[in-house]
Amino acid sequence: MKQVRAKCLICLLVAVSLFAVGREPLLRAQVIAGSPEDKAYQAISNETDAKKRLELLDAFVKNFPKTTDLSQIYEFYAITYRELNNADKEIEYSEKSLALRPDSQLMLMLGRVLSIKGDDLPRAIQTIKDASALAQKVKDNPPPGVSPKDWMQAQTEVMANSKPLLDYAIDRYKQVFFQQLQQEKDPNKAIASLDDYSKLVNDPAALPLVYDAYMRNYELLNNRPKVAEYAEKALSLNPNDVGILAFVTNVYLAQPMDADAALAQAQRAVSIADKIDTQPKPASMTDDQWNSQKTQWKALAYSTRGLVELQKPDSMPAAITDLEKARDFTPNDGIIQYRLGIAYWKSERIDDAINALARSAAVPSGIQTQAAQLLETYYKAAHNGSTDGLKELIDKNKPGTDKPNGE
């Protein structure tokens, strides 16, 4: 937060230096010197009290409705409302001025207030970018009556001051974006937000989160091609991440099931897992962390392929082989034990099925309750409807027991 506040302070200072009230515009419409309109304009330009200046501006607009200086008058309104801490009015008059006269300095001024107000940060970011781009485009082409030196200096200042202001706006945007994304329940709106973020922010460090969010929201829309597209993008960042392929596999296993596509993704996961020990350790991980990660990925890869094989009645032996291998990597994984229990039951290995489900029901997981219910069904079927001894079996299989049943 200290860094963000520091950037905020920098931007505020930049804005004050760029848009001092008394600055004379580089390009002003032709007005007869000494005329009532000119005198009224000069009074506005020289007035340092914001409230008095606002009165002069109101009088000017009333007395000179056909003025050719309207864009500059609107800019003075915007500056005045900024001094009066009225962000909405500052935005309103900045927009009115820009509608009459594209100006890089004024764009930056609008970007500044949008950034500080904070309720439309994507627009703030784009406005600041547009200001810098316009300054770059026109810096070598001063309009008639403006010296090349003054014009170049003004545009150079815009380009230089755009950077800290843009950093500040992007920092604010990033802080709130992922929080709002998690709260968004409409996948279409979430994807639109992700599209805006991707266009506005170049942040390689956030790409894994962005791609993951794309995958999960496209899953909700049952858009499998898009899930696969962003899975490939995610894998390009981390080719060893078996979890990405496991996610895509589960997407293909949903209805309507595409078992062949699911198996293809699961096979890729196993291929990665089989080679993972030859891969270099990421610099951000300790040896223990890397070893733990590899073990988890191996278990997930074989569990994922086992899940696909579990869908085919003639693939139970292969499913059991993969799921047992996954269990050996992570014995206390309740999901793996649950899948293994089903595979054993379908293979008529009743005792093994009950023991695997007892372990699944004994360890915390997202399917612990579901495992307990299935275990009770199987247990009753194997014991003439009785549940005698079922609770004790679960207790014996809780983590920390010396020798869980079934192993």
Portions of the chain given CATH number 1.25.40.10 = 2-174
Share of the chain above pLDDT 90, in %: 85
The predicted model gives 131-144 an average pLDDT of 94
Please say whether the dihedral angle defined by the alpha carbons of residues 81, 83, 85 and 91, taken in this order, is positive or negative: positive
> pLDDT digits over 180-235, tens only?
999 999 999 999 999 999 999 999 999 999 999 999 999 999 999 999 999 999 99
pLDDT at 14: 39
For the beta carbon of residue 9, count every other beta carbon within 10 angstroms.
Answer: 12
Please give the structure tokens belonging to residue 55: 């009165």
Q: Which CATH number fits domain 2-174: 3.90.1150.10, 3.40.640.10, 3.40.50.1980, 1.25.40.10?
A: 1.25.40.10
How confident is the model at residue 69, as a pLDDT? 87
Q: What are phi and psi of 174, to 5 degrees?
A: -65, -35
What is the pLDDT at residue 13? 33
Other beta carbons within 10 Å of 393: 21
Region of 34 on the Ramachandran plot (φ > 0 left; ψ -120 to 50 alpha; else beta): left
Helix, strand, coil tally for the chain in percent (to 5):
75, 0, 25
pLDDT for residue 368 is more than 80: yes
Contact 405, 351 (CB under 8 A): no
First to last CA, the chain: 51
80 three-class SS? helix
Give me the mean pLDDT over the 296-308 stretch.
Answer: 97
Give the Å distances, CA to CA, from 115 to 1, 19, 111, 119, 399.
16, 16, 6, 8, 52
Mean pLDDT computed over 370-398 = 95
Q: Average pLDDT for residues 12-20, to the nearest whole number?
A: 38
Angle at 128 between CA 3 and CA 162, to 5 degrees: 55
Query: Among 10-24, 53-67, 278-292, which stretch is predicted with the lowest mean pLDDT?
Result: 10-24
* pLDDT at residue 28, rounded to an integer: 54
Q: What per-residue confidence (pLDDT) applies to 391?
A: 94
Structure tokens belonging to residue 261: 């596509």
- Rounded to the nearest integer, the mean pLDDT of the chain is 90
257-294 per-residue burial string, b: 16 or more CB within 10 A, e: under 16: eeeebbbebbbbbbebbeebeeeeeeeeeeeeebeebb
pLDDT of residue 256: 94
Mean pLDDT, residues 80-97: 96
Could you read off the pLDDT of 241-276 as tens digits, one per residue? 999 999 999 999 999 999 999 999 999 999 999 999
Angle at 404 between CA 401 and CA 407, to 5 degrees: 145
Residue type, 341: G
